[in-house]
Amino acid sequence: MAEFYVEINAQDNDEHVVHISECSLLPSKETMQYLGSISNTKSAVKKAAEILRKQATGCSHCTPAYQTF
């Protein structure tokens, strides 16, 4: 399990990036929405999309390690 966050501000392609709490590229906490303790990236991205009602995607730096759990 990992603590997942999603960026409130979208990227240029309108997707919101999902990170784990340990990510070194994590933006400031005020610009993040906490998603909870989640077992894998796929579930976290799905939850982020539901909360924001927008497209979400996993951070390429931190989320690949949680792809298969």
For Zn ion, the binding residues (CB under 5 A) are 19, 23, 25, 59, 61-62
Backbone angle region of 65, left / alpha / beta, with phi > 0 → left and psi within -120 to 50 → alpha: alpha
In angstroms, the Cα distances linking 40 to 9, 21, 30, 44, 67 are 22, 13, 23, 6, 6
| Smallest separation (angstroms) from Zn ion to the CB of 63 | 6
Smallest separation, CB 43 to Zn ion (Å): 16
Q: Which is nearer to Zn ion, 6 or 62 (CB)?
A: 62
* Contact yes or no for 55/49 (Cβ under 8 A): yes
Cβ proximity to Zn ion, 46 vs 61, nearer residue: 61
Give min distance, CB of 50 to Zn ion, in A: 20
